[in-house]
Amino acid sequence: MLIFLNNEGKSRFNKPLYGLTGIYTLSEGIALPYVLSLVEVNRAIDELKIAEQIPASLDTKWSLKELFQREIDEKRVEDDIVKGYLLDPNKLKFFNAITIVLMPKDGNGNIQDTFDETTNVASPPIPWDGTDPDDEQWKHFQSEVANFGGIQYLSTGVSARLRWDEDRVLAVAVDGQHRLWALRTFREDPRFRGGTLRPIEQQTKIPILFILLHPSAGFKNLQSASDYSIRGIARELFTDLNKNAKTVDKARELILDDKSISAQCVRTLLTESTGEDAKDKLPLSLVRWQDDSYRFDSSYYLNSLVHLDFLISAALELKPPRDPMEKKHVLDFIESIDSALGTGEEKVQYEGRTLEEYYIEDYCDEDGNPDTPFARIPENYLASAIEGFKVNFRPWLLKATFFTFNFFELSSHT
């Protein structure tokens, strides 16, 4: 809603967002306030930005990508997040919070080092709209109100209300850029939703952390630092968040992932727990599972989880589709699954339907064109595929592992 006020300037404040407020005070002289809000998915896509959405002329003056933004990996966004995750009907969907810094900009769209306190624009009214009874309550709360540089921030206890003038403030992601861009691609790309999310999808709310870098909101930085500017702080936050973020390591993924054929096959080779013995399984105590190392030629290990995964992947020779929406790629993938994991004349199947039949009937439209991505073996077909692995590969993989271990043992004693 565009709000004109009887003043020298004008403002274009967005609708209020509500949430919880908190503050990080883990160092002497530093206080970093934030608001955690649940934002409707359409609002998140429309109102929150990544660096690449800021005018290109800004790059030459500020090198925005270099300062606090990794370049968006479009292939990762499209293939991994949109096609491999958001469009997968069998996946539970959840994103952790996206972190946003509210940053001041001038009339030309250039990011500023500090919030402009000189522009003569009246603070927006409370309630924002006379027809909104929920917002009306904020007028009567014993709220602390902060108006600065195009931002209006109210707090009472741990509850918070937040708005900003979209002509003077940019809401820029410093963590979660790929998630945010994937949501935009999912909604806007004509190959996916073509501009409009489905009604059920529109109910989604995304957790957003808004960082408030102004003393009026409780921000404090008394430490000696070379760059006190909003841009410098945003760069530091970006670096710290992305440096400290850790992806799940490969070994842990092999232990925990129940939907990966490779992980499931690895686990068929191992005993359930340490200290357990079995004639037809590798004792877990003798397999290096604690890290991502391929090596197992030290200590008492028979093998490592990651090395077993490498052997299985090489043996199966599956051909995951480069494009899970491309029919030929998917059919080649299914053929490789049947070739590796079918038993005798039997293909991988579930309740009498082959994987190819399932794909044509459930993943393609009436004309036979794919309308849902197919990127991995569906969950209900995993049991059949694993049985095929047990018959076709498991016996000789176990023999090879024990043979290699015995060979090295014998060599060490001669």
Q: How is 248-294 classified by DSSP, letter by letter?
A: PPHHHHHHH-SS-HHHHHHHHTB-SSTT---TTSB-GGGEE-SSS--
Q: Which of 244, 279, 306 is the last residue of a domain?
A: 244
Residues 6+ apart with CB under 8 A from 291: 249, 251
Query: What gap in Å lies between CA 143 and CA 141, rounded to an integer?
Result: 5
In a domain, 197, yes or no: yes
Query: What gap in Å lies between CA 227 and CA 224, rounded to an integer?
Result: 9
Q: Calculate ∠ Cα 231-236-238, nearest 5°.
A: 95
- Range scoring the smallest mean pLDDT among 46-60, 62-76, 314-328: 62-76
Query: What gap in Å lies between CA 311 and CA 412, rounded to an integer?
Result: 24
Considering the domain architecture, whether residues 271 and 346 belong to the same structural domain is answered as: yes
- Cβ distance 289 to 283 under 8 Å? no
- Range scoring the smallest mean pLDDT among 169-178, 187-196, 202-211, 283-292: 283-292
In a domain, 9, yes or no: no
pLDDT of residue 369: 93
More confident site: 285 or 66: 285
Considering the domain architecture, whether residues 288 and 366 belong to the same structural domain is answered as: yes
Q: Which of 244, 269, 300 is the last residue of a domain?
A: 244
Check whether 383 has a pLDDT greater than 80: yes
Give residue 241's identity as a one-letter amino acid code: L
Kindly state the average pLDDT of the residues 388-408. Answer: 77
First to last CA, the chain: 83
- Cβ distance 285 to 274 under 8 Å? yes
- Range scoring the smallest mean pLDDT among 106-115, 198-207, 326-335: 106-115
pLDDT of residue 86: 93
In a domain, 7, yes or no: no
pLDDT of residue 42: 97
Considering the domain architecture, whether residues 115 and 138 belong to the same structural domain is answered as: yes
In a domain, 365, yes or no: yes
Considering the domain architecture, whether residues 137 and 272 belong to the same structural domain is answered as: no
Considering the domain architecture, whether residues 127 and 180 belong to the same structural domain is answered as: yes
pLDDT of residue 91: 84
Considering the domain architecture, whether residues 138 and 116 belong to the same structural domain is answered as: yes
Kindly state the average pLDDT of the residues 220-240. Answer: 71
Considering the domain architecture, whether residues 173 and 97 belong to the same structural domain is answered as: yes
More confident site: 13 or 120: 13
Considering the domain architecture, whether residues 224 and 319 belong to the same structural domain is answered as: no
Considering the domain architecture, whether residues 265 and 181 belong to the same structural domain is answered as: no
Domain limits for position 44: 17-244
Considering the domain architecture, whether residues 296 and 161 belong to the same structural domain is answered as: no
Q: What is this structure's pTM? A: 0.72
Q: Which of 186, 217, 244 is the last residue of a domain?
A: 244
Q: How far is CA 226 from the centre of its chain?
A: 32
